[in-house]
Amino acid sequence: MTVSTQQPWLKRFTTGAGSGSGAAAAPPARRAAPAPARTRIVCLPHAGGAATAFQGWARHLPPDTELLAVQYPGRQNRIAEPCIESMPELADAVCTALAALPPLPTAVFGHSMGSLVAYETVVRLARSATPGTLPLHLFVSGAEAPHRARKDLPALDDDSLIAYTRRQNAVDVPAAQDPYAIPELLDLLLPSLRADFTLLTGYRPVVPPVAVPVPVTALGGDQDSGCPAEALPTWADLTTARFTSRVFPGGHFYLQGHEGAVASLVASTLAAAAAAAAAAGRPQPA
């Protein structure tokens, strides 16, 4: 189940056993009240992607974990809004949206372009964070650290963007299932895809790069040609805390085959971080 929050930047997905599994819903009178959220996971999608890329995570998370996904403008329920082509503008907006949420122990997860937006968002949160509001962990997936030069980005014409996106999928998709082979869908998908790659092409992190004061875990697929496993440790330069990495079988979109494992890893890491912070007497969100 998807429920929009009070502002357009975030979508909330209902978590808990059986959520999203296709099981019949209980009648309203018998349906259990949602568990009070004790932790929060915020996910940021890839270039051309949307918040619903993380909808399936809901069935792998405990009911007291709030699952939110960022919805960039120009897609799905925000299709009528202009896309954002500037990293500072996008990260500022996401930072503002997250800062307005009620405090909870939080992990931020980004995939591909979402990793870079997540990093820039956490940089901004760290500048103004009050005790207990800074995310406890940053997860970056399918992306090399931003202070390393990118050489694999496509040109911004239609054919180059479509070819690049198809290569990243790393599997042959039948024409009937290829959204870029359907003219009506192509007209909807290309504007946001082009805007996202315009953003990536123009993105230049500050020099020297900012190291965030939270632990970072870098994840990737062992067959991802765009972000090979040996590139994941580049993120170690961008944290003043602990760095870890984890490699899964698969290509750039390895998440599709390991959704449960990745969601569970994020949730268990966050739970352990929240427990450690509480035991150490550090300020906790109310």
Using alpha carbons, select from 74, 53, 62 the residue that is nearest to residue 34: 62
Using alpha carbons, select from 259, 286, 275, 285 the residue that is nearest to residue 61: 259
How far is Cα 185 from Cα 191, in angstroms, rounded to an integer? 11
Residue type, 257: G
How far is Cα 34 from Cα 36, in angstroms, rounded to an integer? 6
Using alpha carbons, select from 231, 45, 248 the residue that is nearest to residue 147: 231
| 208 upstream amide cis, omega within 30 of 0 | yes
Told to judge if 4 belongs to the known catalytic residues of this protein, a careful annotator would answer no
The H or E element containing residue 162 is: helix 158-169
From the list 60, 111, 112, 137, the catalytic residue is: 112
Using alpha carbons, select from 48, 208, 174 the residue that is nearest to residue 112: 48
Using alpha carbons, select from 47, 30, 51, 22 the residue that is nearest to residue 169: 47
Using alpha carbons, select from 98, 105, 25, 30 the residue that is nearest to residue 64: 105
Told to judge if 46 belongs to the known catalytic residues of this protein, a careful annotator would answer no
First to last CA, the chain: 27
The Cβ of residue 13 has, within 10 Å, a number of other Cβ atoms equal to 24
**Which pair of tokens denotes residue 58?**
């809901």
- Only one residue has tokens 């990293």, namely 87
Catalytic positions, please? Answer: 112, 252
